[in-house]
């Protein structure tokens, strides 16, 4: 497979810790598997309209992963694709199906780890008109920063009964006196100071730059003291050592300020993971930016999406230093592929998140407003129509309605 970059457009550069984005950037995209064939082209049309609205132009460059790549070159994740993302720095990606026995635990996880996209950033906010199980869903406005390179997702594990698993079991018993049942599968959970601090650093910087009120460290440190407990400790360290002028701890908030947050300060707090789930339901408005580990972040971001209408409207991104791959939270839903039925909202809002990363905040706000307008007009795909009725449309027709609203703004 030989990828052919477009002749037009300019590359995004990264200098002195900042992206330099031209008015006509070349942006690679992966269509994706399953409903990717429906939602990705629909989203691209919306993004083109939004870019034009703010005087920009995206020059798209198709690259390949998943089933489409396998058909072209016999690989699910070609090196050329990864090299293109590295070179052009920003990419849009549809959902991928990890093949059974394909050599990867997950194509999504592989992309994150190979490109060192260490922060899975998922904003969760309410769109008026979308059905929600909450009485006050408009209170949901959080951004989850999930560390993606460590934790149990590092993939360090051995099958029960394997030579490797038995070696580890014997080692634990011989060296530390720890007895593990011999029919156990074994997995390791690495949590490092380096990975923790760079994630929390990114979350706090985001909170400062976007006027957010708090950053909450979510962990299960009461049980896993030297992994998740260490995440909590290192998180506080980076907050207090590197951002002291901007932050106060929750303890300081009550001891020194009687619960009143001083102007311009961000509150750093922490919550036990299981408690955090019910806190997001019962004290929704108290949470703003969340920083957590891989598994906690996976659970929390999916649950939070459910508070505002589900994965069909949930955008996501994978961010590293000067590099980002933007993908919706939902999966590939192959049974709906090619039916012009799937809701493209998550993919469209993922594009809005990409616009923010590019520094095109005006375009991002236009996209979000146009999507909300479309839903409030009662123009909806089947997943929302079955709950609230309205005018039932397909994937393409929904995107066209969003484009009309963009043009009217």
Task: Enter the CATH code of domain 133-150+191-307.
Answer: 3.40.718.10
Residue 102 has pLDDT above 60, yes or no: no
| Catalytic status, residue 153 | yes
133-150+191-307 shares the fold of 1-118+322-408 = yes
pLDDT digits (tens, 9 = 90+) for 371-396: 999 999 999 999 999 988 999 999 99
Q: What is the pLDDT of residue 2?
A: 83
The answer to whether 42 and 396 have CB atoms below 8 angstroms apart is yes
pLDDT over 90, % of the chain: 87
Predicted TM-score of the model (pTM):
0.92
pLDDT over 70, % of the chain: 98
As given in the structure block, the two tokens for residue 183 are 């029919």
Q: What is the pLDDT of residue 110?
A: 87
Q: Where are the domains of the chain?
A: 1-118+322-408, 133-150+191-307, 152-188
| Catalytic status, residue 274 | yes
| Catalytic status, residue 220 | yes
Q: How many residues does the chain have?
A: 409
Instruction: Write down the catalytic residue from 274, 299, 302, 369.
Output: 274
| Catalytic status, residue 151 | no
Annotated binding site for NADP(+): 97, 330-336, 343, 382, 386
Q: What is the pLDDT of residue 138?
A: 93
Q: What is the average per-residue pLDDT within 189-195?
A: 97
Q: What is the average per-residue pLDDT within 9-18?
A: 94
For domain 1-118+322-408, give the CATH superfamily: Isopropylmalate Dehydrogenase (3.40.718.10)
Instruction: Write down the catalytic residue from 93, 197, 220, 341.
Output: 220
For 318, residues 6+ apart whose C-beta sits below 8 A from its C-beta are 111, 112, 115, 117, 119, 120, 121, 148, 324, 325, 326, 327
What confidence category does residue 312 fall into, taking pLDDT thresholds of 50, 70 and 90?
confident
How far is the first Cα of the chain from the last one, in angstroms, to the nearest whole number? 42
Annotated binding site for D-threo-isocitrate: 106, 108, 112, 122, 146
Q: What is the average per-residue pLDDT within 18-36?
A: 96
Q: What is the average per-residue pLDDT within 149-154?
A: 91
Annotated binding site: 97, 106, 108, 112, 122, 146, 298, 330-336, 343, 382, 386
Q: What is the pLDDT of residue 398?
A: 97
Phi then psi dihedrals of residue 53, to 5 deg? -60, -30
């Amino acid at each position: 497979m030989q990828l052919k970059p477009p002749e037009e457009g300019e590359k995004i550069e990264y200098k002195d810790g900042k992206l330099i984005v031209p008015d006509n950037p070349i942006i690679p995209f992966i269509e994706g598997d399953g409903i990717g064939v429906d939602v990705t082209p629909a989203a691209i049309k919306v993004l083109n309209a939004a870019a034009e609205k703010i005087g920009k132009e995206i020059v798209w460059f198709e690259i390949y992963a998943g089933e489409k790549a396998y058909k072209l070159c016999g690989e699910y994740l070609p090196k050329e694709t990864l090299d293109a993302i590295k070179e052009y720095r920003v990419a849009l990606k549809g959902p991928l199906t990890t093949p059974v026995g394909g050599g990867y635990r997950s194509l999504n996880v592989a992309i994150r780890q190979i490109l060192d996209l260490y922060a899975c950033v998922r904003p969760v906010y309410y769109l008026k008109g979308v059905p929600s199980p909450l009485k006050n869903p408009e209170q949901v406005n959080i951004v989850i920063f999930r560390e993606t390179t460590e934790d149990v997702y590092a993939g360090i594990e051995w099958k029960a009964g394997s030579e490797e698993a038995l070696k580890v079991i014997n080692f634990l018993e011989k060296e530390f006196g720890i007895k593990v049942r011999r029919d156990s599968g074994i997995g390791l959970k690495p949590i490092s100071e380096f990975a923790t601090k760079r994630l929390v650093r990114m979350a706090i910087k985001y909170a400062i730059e976007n006027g957010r009120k708090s950053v909450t460290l979510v962990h299960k440190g009461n049980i896993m003291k030297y992994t998740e407990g260490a995440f909590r400790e290192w998180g506080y360290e980076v907050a207090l050592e590197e951002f002291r002028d901007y932050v106060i701890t929750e303890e300081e908030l009550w001891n020194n300020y009687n619960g009143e947050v001083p102007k311009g300060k961000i509150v750093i707090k922490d919550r036990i993971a299981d408690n955090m789930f019910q806190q997001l339901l019962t004290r929704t408005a108290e949470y703003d930016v969340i920083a957590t580990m891989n598994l906690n972040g996976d659970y929390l971001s999916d649950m939070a999406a459910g508070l505002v209408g589900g994965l069909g409207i949930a955008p996501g991104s994978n961010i590293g230093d000067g590099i980002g791959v933007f993908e919706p939270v939902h999966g590939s839903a192959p049974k709906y592929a090619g039916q012009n039925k799937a809701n493209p909202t998550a993919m469209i809002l993922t594009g809005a998140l990409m616009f923010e990363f590019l520094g095109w905040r005006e375009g991002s706000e236009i996209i979000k407003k146009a999507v909300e307008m479309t839903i409030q007009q009662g123009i909806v795909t089947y997943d929302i129509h079955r709950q609230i009725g309205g005018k039932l449309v397909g994937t393409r027709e929904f995107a066209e309605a969003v484009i009309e609203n963009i043009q009217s703004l």
